[in-house]
């Protein structure tokens, strides 16, 4: 039978690798630590300014031309909305807003936008495209706020439905330079019990950052993620166990998935 733990100690003795970007990791790390676990912070994505610092302001200056604005991530919200406030003072009235997930919706609320269109269950481009608000878009002008080099599915599908699409690149995702020696040693000793990854780019970065020395233990280690797409990439990379998917995509759901995994283990 799985072990049982008192409230607040469900992760006692569990070491979780937290791979969120540095400025987004603390909430999840704190939740893990409140349950008695150890959160090893190892950012696998660095958020940087876009290479072209003129393109985003140019789009923001003509936001009134668009019917709908879509934000693909909290980073896109924060970076775009800060600039919108600086250049325009307020969000254009009548401009409809959509986003991929609850994290982005919460970020939008911080800027006073509370009526965003957001999927209820899955939080990805496919789920957003299934919503009725984005099915009949012929003739609409839609701006997609995203990171450089993001997925094309959203824009391509909306174009096929007759919308005119423009991309507003708010940031770049970089692979950090980091000394992985200590992490690889801990992984080899079995001291990293489960890994949390919240994006495909982050998963691939982690895999490449660890290199041949760290990849064998990584592929043996349980992993919790937030989408089926990331889980599919886990299979492609050769993970030995099926990735657990936290739904909805939130820190609290990731914590619950880790606790559920721990409750099923006889020992670490």
CA distance 102 to 73: 9
Would you state the pLDDT for residue 1?
Answer: 34
Would you state the pLDDT for residue 231?
Answer: 95
Any idea what DSSP says for residue 175? Answer: P
CA distance 96 to 262: 42
Question: What distances in angstroms separate CA 39 from CA 161, 192, 193, 248, one per listed residue?
Answer: 44, 10, 11, 21
Considering the domain boundaries, does residue 4 fall inside one? no
Judged by phi (left if over 0) then psi (alpha if -120 to 50, else beta), residue 248 lies in beta
Same structural domain, 123 and 233: no
- The label of the residue with tokens 């949390």 reads 196
CA distance 1 to 7: 18
Query: From the DSSP assignment, how many helices (H) and strands (E) are in the chain?
Result: 10, 10
Same structural domain, 151 and 237: no
Considering the domain boundaries, does residue 75 fall inside one? yes
Same structural domain, 35 and 100: no
Would you state the pLDDT for residue 37?
Answer: 97
CA distance 226 to 246: 5
CATH of the domain at 208: 3.40.50.10090
Would you state the pLDDT for residue 6?
Answer: 52
**Domain edge (last residue) among 174, 209, 224:** 174
- Closest by CA position to 197, among listed 38, 10, 28: 28
Would you state the pLDDT for residue 2?
Answer: 43
Same structural domain, 145 and 212: no
Same structural domain, 87 and 202: no
Q: What is the dihedral of CA 174, 175, 177, 178, to 10 degrees?
A: 130
Considering the domain boundaries, does residue 224 fall inside one? yes
Same structural domain, 209 and 259: yes
Would you state the pLDDT for residue 7?
Answer: 58
CA distance 87 to 232: 41
Considering the domain boundaries, does residue 2 fall inside one? no
Contact status, residue 10 vs residue 263, Cβ threshold 8 Å:
yes
* Number of Cα atoms under 13 Å in the Cβ half of residue 158: 29
**Domain edge (last residue) among 174, 204, 234:** 174
> Which regions of the chain are under pLDDT 50?
1-4
Contact status, residue 201 vs residue 45, Cβ threshold 8 Å:
yes
Considering the domain boundaries, does residue 5 fall inside one? no
**Domain edge (last residue) among 125, 159, 174:** 174
Considering the domain boundaries, does residue 77 fall inside one? yes
Domain extent, residue 249, equals 15-45+176-263
Same structural domain, 214 and 167: no
Considering the domain boundaries, does residue 144 fall inside one? yes
Give per-residue pLDDT as tens, 130-176.
999 999 999 999 999 999 987 799 999 999 999 999 999 999 999 99
């Amino acid at each position: 039978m799985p072990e049982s733990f008192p409230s607040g100690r469900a992760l006692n003795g569990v070491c979780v690798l937290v791979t969120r970007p540095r400025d987004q990791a603390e909430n999840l790390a704190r939740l893990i630590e409140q349950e008695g676990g150890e959160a090893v912070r190892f950012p696998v994505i660095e958020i940087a300014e876009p290479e072209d610092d003129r393109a985003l302001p140019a789009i923001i200056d003509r936001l009134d031309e668009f019917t709908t604005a879509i934000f693909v991530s909290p980073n896109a919200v924060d970076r775009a909305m800060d600039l919108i406030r600086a250049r325009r003072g307020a969000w254009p009235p009548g401009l409809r807003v959509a986003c991929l997930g609850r994290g982005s919706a919460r970020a939008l609320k911080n800027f006073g936008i509370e009526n965003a269109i957001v999927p209820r269950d899955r939080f990805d481009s496919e789920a957003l495209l299934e919503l009725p608000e984005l099915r009949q878009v012929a003739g609409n002008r839609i701006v997609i706020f995203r990171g450089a080099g993001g997925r094309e599915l959203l824009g391509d599908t909306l174009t096929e439905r007759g919308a005119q699409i423009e991309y507003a690149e708010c940031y770049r995702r970089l692979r950090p330079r980091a000394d992985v020696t200590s992490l690889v040693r801990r992984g080899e000793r079995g001291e990293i019990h489960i890994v949390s990854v919240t994006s495909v780019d982050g998963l691939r970065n982690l895999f490449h950052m660890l290199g041949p020395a760290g990849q064998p233990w990584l592929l043996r280690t349980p992993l919790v993620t937030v989408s089926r797409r990331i889980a599919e990439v886990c299979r492609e990379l050769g993970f030995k166990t099926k990735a657990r998917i936290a739904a909805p995509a939130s820190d609290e759901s990731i914590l619950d998935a880790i606790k559920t995994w721990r409750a099923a283990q006889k020992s670490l």
